[in-house]
Amino acid sequence: MSLNFKNFIKYVTDKNPNEPEFLQAVAEVTEDLIPYINEKHPTWNDLKILERIVEPERVISFRVTWLDDKNVVQVNRGYRVQMNSAIGPYKGGLRFSPTVNLSILKFLAFEQVFKNSLTGIPLGGGKGGSDFDPKGKSDNEIMRFCQSFMTELFRHVGPETDVPAGDIGVGEREVGYMFGQYKRIQNHFAGVLTGKGPNWGGSYIRPEATGYGLLYFVQCILENLDEDFSGKTIAISGAGNVAYYAAEKAVNLGGKVITLSNSSGCLHDPEGFSLEKLHHVASLGRELAKYTETYKSGQFFTDKKPWDFACDIALPCATQNELDEQDAKTLVKNGCRFVAEGANMPSTMEAIKYFHKSKVHFAPGKAANAGGVAVSGLEMSQNWIGQQWTSEKVDGRLKGIMENIHKTCVKYGKEEDGHINYLKGANIGGFIKVGSAMKAQGLV
Ligand code: NDP
Ligand code: 2IT
C-alpha cells in the first residue's frame, strides 16, 4: 500500500483540528517522508508507522496551583507531551510562556523526535511546559511555581523515562528549582533534568550548546562551498539563550553580527556587535533599547524585524513562525544566501518554499539547533557514569555531532543539481532510525 501526502494531511487534520502549529510541523516532515517510504519501505505503510508517529505515546495535562507574593492563589496549566520513545527515553525542553498550548507543545515534541535521532544519541522525543508567564515575576514566585509544577510532574519523569530541560522562559534557575523539588520528593539525586548548574550535575557548555552548535553547522555549510565567515554579515533574532551564544560564536568565527531582537523590537548596530558590546547586551536583560544609551552606533526599532536589514546569513533564534514569506523575499532581495534556524520552526512553510526556490542554503531547526539537546545527552552520560568532562571535551564532542548531522543531511538531501535540500536530508535522516526501531518493537 502506498500513502498519499494530501490524504495523509487530511487524516491528521481531521484528528487534530485547531492545532495549526502541530499540523504545520507534520506537513513539513511528511512531505519528504511519504515519497521516501513509498519508494524504500512500502511495508512500513502497512505497519502504519506514520499514523503512529504523529500520535503522541502519552499527553499529560495537569493543574499547577501556587501562591503569588500578594498571597493571591494562581492557577496555571502544566503539560508534558511524551511523543516517541522508540530509540530512548523521552527528551526535550519545558517552555514557560502565556502562549503555550497543546498545539505548540505537540509541534515541538514532534520536531524533537527527529532532532534527537539526528544527534546519534539514543534519545526519544518529548516536550512540556506551562502557560505560566515568567515575565515580571519575583524570584520567590518563580520558585513556588516551579516547585508546584514538579510536585505533579515528578511521577511522570525519571532519568530513564523522561528527561526534561529548558526552552523559552526556562533556564538554569528554573531547572534548579524543579531539580531541588524532584530530589526532595524522590530522595534521589538523579539526572532527571538537564541544563543543571555545573556544580550540581550539569555539563559544561550546555548553556552555550545550541548557539555554538548552530554556528558549527553553518560552518559546515560554508566549508562545503569552500567559503568561510570572513566578511559575512549576520542577522540574528532573539536575545535569549540561543541568540546570545550564537552571536558570541559568530563573532569569534569572524562574522559581523548586526542585529538582535526581542518581543519589543529589533536592535540594529551596523558596525557589528563586538564581544564587549554583547556582554553589555547581556547585562541589559529585556531592556534592549537601552543599548543605544551606551553605544551610539546602535538603533532600536519597534517596527522592524532583523530580516529588514541586508545580510549574508540569517539566524532566526527567537520563536516559531517569526519569519514569513514576505521576510524571505526581503532577505533574498537584499542578498541573503544562508538561513539556519536556531529556534524551532521559525520559518513559515511559504518562507521555506521561497528559500528553496531561490536556492538559499536553508538549514532547518531540527538539524541546525540540535546542539542543545546533544549536549543534554552528554550531560545524561556524565550523570550515569558520575563524572564531569572538561569544557574542551564537551565542545569537541558538540562540534563532532554537528558535523555528523551535516553529513547525514548531505547524504539524504543532495539533489540532482548538487544543491543540498537540508530539510529533506534532516527529515529522512532523522526518521530512518525511529521508523526501523518502531518496526522492530512491534505494535506498540
Ligand atoms: P529564551 O527564553 O532564552 O529567549 C527567547 C528569546 O526570544 C527572547 O529574546 C524573547 O524575547 C524572544 N521571543 C520569544 N517569543 C517572541 C516573540 N513572539 N516575538 C519576538 N521575540 C520573541 O529562549 P531560548 O533562547 O532558549 O529559545 C529560543 C528558541 O530556540 C525557541 O524557539 C526554542 O524552542 C529554541 N531552542 C532552544 C534550545 C535551548 O537549548 N534553549 C534548544 C533548541 C532550540 P522576550 O524576552 O521579549 O520575550
Ligand atoms: O528544542 C530543544 O531542542 C530544546 N529546548 C532542548 C531540549 C533538551 O532536552 O536539551
Q: Which fold has domain 209-363?
A: Rossmann fold (3.40.50)
- Which residue minimizes the CA distance to atom 9 of ligand 2? 92
Q: What residues does CATH 3.40.50.720 cover in the chain?
A: 209-363
CA of 366 to the centre of ligand 2 (A): 10
Does residue 262 have its Cβ closer than 6 Å to ligand 1? yes
Q: What residues does CATH 3.40.50.10860 cover in the chain?
A: 58-189
For residue 129, the model assigns a pLDDT of 98
CA of 317 to the centre of ligand 1 (A): 6
Nearest ligand atom owner, CA of 21: 1
Low-confidence ranges of the chain (pLDDT < 50): none
Does residue 241 have its Cβ closer than 6 Å to ligand 1? yes
- Which residue minimizes the CA distance to atom 10 of ligand 1? 262
Does residue 93 have its Cβ closer than 6 Å to ligand 2? yes
- Which residue minimizes the CA distance to atom 36 of ligand 1? 343
CA of 43 to the centre of ligand 2 (A): 32
Write out pLDDT tens, residues 362-407.
Answer: 999 999 999 999 999 999 999 999 999 999 999 999 999 999 999 9
* Residues whose CB is less than 8 angstroms from the CB of residue 170 and which lie 6 or more positions away in sequence, other chains included: 93, 94, 95, 96, 129, 195
- Which residue minimizes the CA distance to atom 20 of ligand 1? 263
For residue 1, the model assigns a pLDDT of 77
Is 127 an active-site residue? yes
Does residue 219 have its Cβ closer than 6 Å to ligand 1? no
The domain 58-189 having CATH identifier 3.40.1190.20: the answer here is no
Provide the CB-side half-sphere exposure for 278 (13 A, CA).
24
What's this model's pTM, rounded to 2 decimal places?
0.98
Which ligand 2 atom sits nearest the alpha carbon of residue 167?
A: 5
Does residue 319 have its Cβ closer than 6 Å to ligand 1? yes
- Which residue minimizes the CA distance to atom 13 of ligand 1? 318
Pocket test for ligand 2, best of 84, 97, 167 (most atoms within 8 A of CB): 167
